Structure 1
Amino acid sequence: MKIIMFGTNACKDCLEAVKALDERNADYMYLEFSESTANLKRFLKLRDTQPLFEEVKKKGAIGVPCFKLEDGTLTLDLQEVLDKL
């Protein structure tokens, strides 16, 4: 399963997710956005338009790591991703 992961290296949870995906030899692309305006814009478009992020925004959180699965599913739950590998 191909996975897109949005995140930043400044986030401990994102770094742990990268480690977990690497340990599972997952086929993923990490779109790190603290150093890429293009990646940040791509993430913000999702964050601003997807219901998944409503509670995240209410809490003042960012919503990373965020995973987009091959079938288009979006999740903030690393375990859900790992369970599907």
Structure 2
Amino acid sequence: MIKIYGMSSCPDCTYVWEQVKDNPAYEVIDFGLHVSDLKAFLKLRDHNSVFDDARARGAAGIPCFVLEDGRVTLSPEEAGLRSCPAEGQACSLDGSGC
């Protein structure tokens, strides 16, 4: 099962979550709903070099995908999904992404 970490207020997250609705191959984890899920995400984010660029840009690094082999990625395509189109909302302070 592929885990997808994110928040329901993030347009990039909701875009990929819609693609996996009712698909048992994916587990959606909205870490805005429970502190234990937030802590699990922060442990990933704080200790994984995949987030280096996101941290440098001040981005959250979501949606985040933990693949079945344990590899962490920020690419929906690596999880078999489509990225949100570039036009539209972004949740970073500078409008460049989430």
TM bin, normalised by shorter chain, reads 0.7 to 0.9
CA gap 1:35/1:18 in 2 versus in 1, 3 angstroms: same
SS in 1 for 2:21: helix
**Does residue 50 of structure 1 match 2:48?**
yes
Bigger helix fraction: 1
Bigger strand fraction: 1
Question: Structure 1: where are the runs of 5+ without partners?
Answer: none
Measure how far apart 1:22 and its partner are: 2.7
TM-score (ref. length: structure 1): 0.88
Q: Distance between the aligned counterparts of 1:26 and 1:36, measured in 2? A: 21
**Pairwise mapping of residues 51-70 of structure 1 onto structure 2 (< 5 A)?**
51-70=49-68
**Does residue 15 of structure 1 match 2:14?**
yes
1:5 aligns to what?
Answer: 4
CA offset digits 1:27-47 (Å, max 9, x no partner): 111111112100000000000
Measure how far apart 1:58 and its partner are: 0.3
| Count of aligned positions | 81
Q: Is the 8 A contact 1:52 1:75 kept in 2?
A: yes
CA offset digits 1:34-68 (Å, max 9, x no partner): 12100000000000000000110000000000000
CA offset digits 1:1-40 (Å, max 9, x no partner): x1011000010000001112238x3511111111210000
1:33 aligns to what?
Answer: 31
Question: Structure 2: where are the runs of 5+ without partners?
Answer: 82-98
TM-score (ref. length: structure 2): 0.77
